Amino acid sequence: MIVGIDHLVITVADLERTVSFYTQALGMTCVREPGRPAALTFGSQKINVHQKDHMIEPKASRPTPGSADFCLVTDRPLEEWLEVFQRHGVPLELGPVARTGARGRMSSIYFRDPDNNLIEIGRYD
């Protein structure tokens, strides 16, 4: 039985720009180990980051910067995230709006990372 998601992989055009965005604007931690992709960690999850011209095998059949669309869960009020976005110059795409996540009703905001991936931050009601 599947019980969770351990990590996901995003493909990016510029590794350093992506790491800077996720660590500064979203407070994630970057972990780097020789011979392994950069990893953005938060809570008990991680996002592996592959630069498009330095892919690690195996990989998706068509890894493309800007093709990701995923939701992150927060325990902070969304208003705090809006303030963080304003400080870091991150434009809001949509929200706050009502959504239904894996665990039920949530409120969400949407924005894009430097590769134009659509990121949702949701807070459960």
Cα separation, 92 vs 49, in Å, equals 23
Q: One of 57, 83, 93, 120 is an active-site residue; which one?
A: 120
Confidence of residue 31 (pLDDT cuts 50, 70, 90): very high
Cα separation, 71 vs 94, in Å, equals 13
What is the assigned CATH class of domain 7-124? Answer: alpha beta
pLDDT at 4 over 90: no
pTM of the model: 0.93
Rounded mean pLDDT of 30-41? 93
120 included as an active-site residue: yes
Confidence of residue 3 (pLDDT cuts 50, 70, 90): confident
Residue ranges per structural domain of the chain: 7-124
Rounded mean pLDDT of 5-14? 95
